[in-house]
Chains A and B, each alone.
Chain A
Amino acid sequence: MDIAALTRKYGSTVLGTIGVALWLVALYLLGYAAQNSAAFDRWLPWILLINISGLLTLFVLLATKLIRLVRDYRRHVPGSRLKGRTVAIFSALAVAPILVVYYFSLQFLNRGIDSWFEIEVSQGLKDTRELSHAALEVRVREFLQHTQVVAHELSPLTDFELIGTLDRERRESTALEFTVVGAQTRIIATSSDRPMDALPAPATDEMMLQVRRGRPYVSLDTDSVGGYVIRAASPLEGNGGSAARILIALYPVPQQLSQLADTVQRSYTQYANLVQLRQPLKSTFVLILSFVVLMSLIAAVYGAIFAAQRLVQPVQDLIAGTRAVAKGNYDTKLPLPSRDELGFLVTSFNDMTKRLGRAREETRRSQQAVEAERAGLAVILARLSTGVVSLEPDLTVRTANQAASAILGVDLEAAVGTRFDESISDSTLFTQFIATVKQRLGADQSDWREQIELLSDTGKRVLMCACTALPNDLGGAPGVVLVFDDITTLLQAQRDAAWGEVARRLAHEIKNPLTPIQLSAERIQRKFSGSMNPEDAQVLERATHTIVAQVEAMKQMVNAFSEYARAPDMHFSRFDLNQLITEVVDLYRVQASGVELKLLLEPNLPNVSADRIRIRQILNNLVTNSLEALEGKAEPFVEIETHVAEDGLKQVVAIVVTDNGPGFHRDLIGTIFDPYVTSKPKGTGLGLAIVKKIVEEHGGRIEADNQRMGGARVRILLPLGEAARSLSGREPRKGEHRRERV
């Protein structure tokens, strides 16, 4: 780790430690300086500055922490209330003892300082002073008397005589100095035992004033070196003039007495200073004590906040982690605070989130798999030709596929979420289907299979429906799933196949003997008609004619069967359907002059790819059927319409042939395309069957129904383009595909 990283990591800690240490030292020195000022006079401002800076720093830190704490508390930050309570408790625990100690310290401080100034001490000092004063007073009076005696002796002397006498008088006494001053305190004569050390003691104004009033002057004074001297002054009598002379004498105080007096004076002065400093000292000590207590309080509260922060931080982390987990963030990993109980809790939390994350990942994968399965199933259901509808127990549609909607003729996918039986639809198929299903479900039959025959406007529809109960893990009533398939076409195909087989067998078994029968009948007539009498010959002729006619009829019938049953031999070509229709209709305009033949042909109808001959046959059959049905009808008409239409995903050409005849019989409408189904007395019942067969060979679809205003309607849907052949199930042979010349 480089120095910069170390500085970043430990720099603040080191600086903080140095600051705290410096502050503590300054705090100690502050208390020490209050008692020993001389040693710290120079540093005291810096000591004060450090202490005040420390206090301000602590105060700012504390204020910052408190502001943040209050802000978090108001914002309901997780853990702030616990932190606030912890801080309050810690602060109370720390502050209460400090305040108690502070109170008693104040008491001790005041009483301790007051005890320094007990009245006994003060009185003792005063008594000492009085004692010293009394001890010196005797000596002072003695020296004053001596001064007065000397002054009396010197009074008669002239100024000149004084010089010698004064020195003798001083030597005979213990005086340090004799000085005689005259007017203006002019020195007349002086004598000193230390003439080289100092000038004669000057006469003070006080001294002169008192002496001139006629009173002797004496005082105990201190000299410049700290010793005591007695100064006395007495006027010299005699001259009485304005220039009165005064003797000033200076007497020594014994050294021992002087030292004692000096000690007393020093003690007295010190005590006076102490008395003077009594209140300031108390204030100073109280100030320092308060300062220390204040800093201790701030430090204690700050420490309480710090400790609470350390204590609550893991809890806050846990709360934040819990919220993150609640929001689905399982990647939350809390820092490990310590290896105590909280650390164990955090470790457990981290383990829990790790497991939750793993479980969520597994769940997500499972869900994805289920979704993929569901999507695949939805695709399968959508592509199924079988209708699938799942219902809730209350018949609410849960799911439905496209095939179900197509089969039942109603948009069941849009009905998801609504009740199955309340779906609004005009489809008669759907109405009949619901009735059947409700009947079975109402009988508490949840697993059944049934072939349901439904009548629609376009004929009979047969559905193979199976119902199965859905599993319900929650234990409630199970839903059901209906699976149904439109097997109408299948049944029709089966029926067509059966009829084809019948026709083929009939053509094979019946057609073969018909020719010998016809030939035999014609031979009988030729052989025996000449030899018979006319009456018998006429009978024979009628009989053989009948036989031949019926055989011919049977041949036609067998041929028709043969036509129905023969394998398709298609010759596809692309031609204009409208032109073909016009040609066919023009043929009938001559024959059926009483019937109006209407053409509603779409001008831009694309060419169709089909077998032109067979399409012509279809048109012939349909027009013939309509014309036969219109016999005896007033204002008969046949209308042929063409247009492009959509049939599912295919684009088709629709040929709609309508008339205003009696229409199809209601009972026959479901089987109108079956062989031998006809309402005409002379019909073979194969016309519409052949039409349907040809349409299906082209991959198309045919519908027949009655119009509301009366009359039949046949609707043929032929696929456009190459789809016709692919749907017809066979490819054209080489060279088969040709564009027919029209």
Chain B
Amino acid sequence: MNAAPWKRRWRRSAAAARPGAALLFAVAVLSGSLCAGSACADGLEGRFEIRSADLELKDGVYHLNARIDLPVGEAVRRGLAEGVPLGLELDLDIERVRQLLPNSRVAELTQRYHLQYNAVSARYILRNDNSGQQESLGTVDAALEQLSEIHGLPVLDKSLMTADRRYEASVRAKVDYGTVPFSLRVLMFWVNEWHRESDWYTWTLQP
């Protein structure tokens, strides 16, 4: 099911090859190694991962359905209730598998969600940053449940895929807690309380 590891590494390295990204990558590696050595005390209690994901063909369009395990701890719930925002970013890659050459990317999608408590209305506002649509939810549990469930997100037209080829789809989620400035994140790189990334969830797709 999973893609070849070297291709995965190559893709990640290519993504990191942006101006200044090398340094950030080095800092991230350093912070990662530091976090690996000591238990990172972020706001999540448990493993943050994509539990399931699939592409559903409906009316000639592939729709993404995904289930995210977002084990938010009590501290984060309190923070949310006090107005600290929670952001979720969903990365989707669809690549055509090639035997000897690196896979070719067919589609790439980044979907961002923003969950924040409105103190005046006492409601949790879940907003899709891509479409601008928002949803008002009465409880934090309902809001988190809604955030963890991706349902029917249109991602790719079937016509862009060839029938006798094999494809790989990968999904990764990133969660950002609060609006911590970039400089603080860099300076406090060893304190990873604000940002978490899941592993890539990859499956094979045969049109």
Contacts and interface: CB of A to CB of B under 8 A. Distances in A.
Contact of B83 (A204, A219, A220, A268): A268
Contacts of B116: 269
B23 A49 contact: yes
Nearest to A264: B120
B55 interface: no
Interface residues of A, number: 43
A273 B178 contact: yes
Contact of B142 (A206, A221, A265, A276): A206
B183 A41 contact: yes
A571 B133 CA distance: 158
Interface centre among B179, B180, B181, B193 (most CB of A within 10 A): B181
B136 A277 contact: no
A41 B182 contact: yes
A265 B186 contact: no
A277 B83 CA distance: 13
Nearest to A223: B134
B71 to A, nearest CB: 19
A239 interface: no
Given A49-B23, A272-B82, A277 B135 contact: no
B184 A204 contact: no
A45 B119 contact: no
Interface in A280-314: 280-281, 283-284, 287-288
A714 B123 CA distance: 155
Contacts of A283: 188, 191
Interface in B15-33: 19-20, 23-24, 27
B184 A129 contact: no
Interface residues of B, number: 38
B177 to A, nearest CB: 8
Nearest to A122: B82
B85 to A, nearest CB: 7
B97 to A, nearest CB: 35
B82 A275 contact: yes
Interface stretch (A30-38, A336-344, A542-550): A30-38
Interface in B101-129: 116, 118-123, 125
A284 B27 contact: no
Contacts of B193: 280
Contacts of A566: none
A733 B19 CA distance: 124
A222 B136 contact: yes
A219 B121 contact: yes
Given A276-B84, A277-B178, A220 B121 contact: yes
B82 A133 contact: no
Interface string A223-240: 010001001000000000
Interface of B: 19-20, 23-24, 27, 79, 82-85, 116, 118-123, 125, 132-138, 142, 178-184, 186-188, 191, 193
Given A133-B120, A206-B138, A272-B84, 19 more contacts: A34-B187, A37-B181, A37-B182, A37-B184, A40-B183, A46-B20, A48-B23, A48-B27, A132-B120, A206-B142, A221-B136, A222-B118, A222-B125, A272-B83, A273-B179, A276-B79, A281-B184, A283-B188, A284-B184
